[in-house]
Amino acid sequence: MKKIKRLIPYEVGLYEDLKDPHEAALYLNAAFEDGHPDVILLAMHHVAKARGMTRIANTLRVHRVSLHKMLRKNGNPSFRTFLSLLGEFEIQLAVASVKRKEAA
């Protein structure tokens, strides 16, 4: 009988990668390119979890549970908190112009 290899959840590797600011920036850029707020919040949640949710909550002076709620689906962090999170992730927000989609 063949032995079945034990699988490792994808989150383990993901969280390890997201500890690196460059990898986290690439991950968040992909979320921003998607453009859906829930995708962006999920990506922010993954980066926060990788960096230590409790530590980040303490640094931002918010309760850990509140941070989880802000970054969950339909969460609504303030822009100030959003920028503070990016700073904690050692990531800077940049803007660029985009062409509008023409009406069909």
- The count of structural domains within the chain is 1
Residues 21/89, Cβ–Cβ less than 8 Å: yes
Q: What is the pTM of this model?
A: 0.82
Residues 62/28, Cβ–Cβ less than 8 Å: no
Checking if the pLDDT of 25 tops 70, the result is yes
**Is residue 76, in this structure, part of any structural domain at all?**
yes
Checking if the pLDDT of 104 tops 70, the result is no
**Is residue 103, in this structure, part of any structural domain at all?**
no
**Is residue 93, in this structure, part of any structural domain at all?**
no
Q: What is the pLDDT of residue 14?
A: 93
Range of the domain at 76: 10-88
Cα–Cα distances (Å) from 1 to 4, 101, in that order, read 9, 57
**Is residue 23, in this structure, part of any structural domain at all?**
yes
**Is residue 94, in this structure, part of any structural domain at all?**
no
Q: What is the pLDDT of residue 16?
A: 93
**Is residue 96, in this structure, part of any structural domain at all?**
no
Residues 58/29, Cβ–Cβ less than 8 Å: no
| Res. 88 pLDDT band, cuts 50 70 90 | very high
Rounded-to-integer distance, Cα 79 and Cα 41, Å: 12
| Res. 95 pLDDT band, cuts 50 70 90 | confident
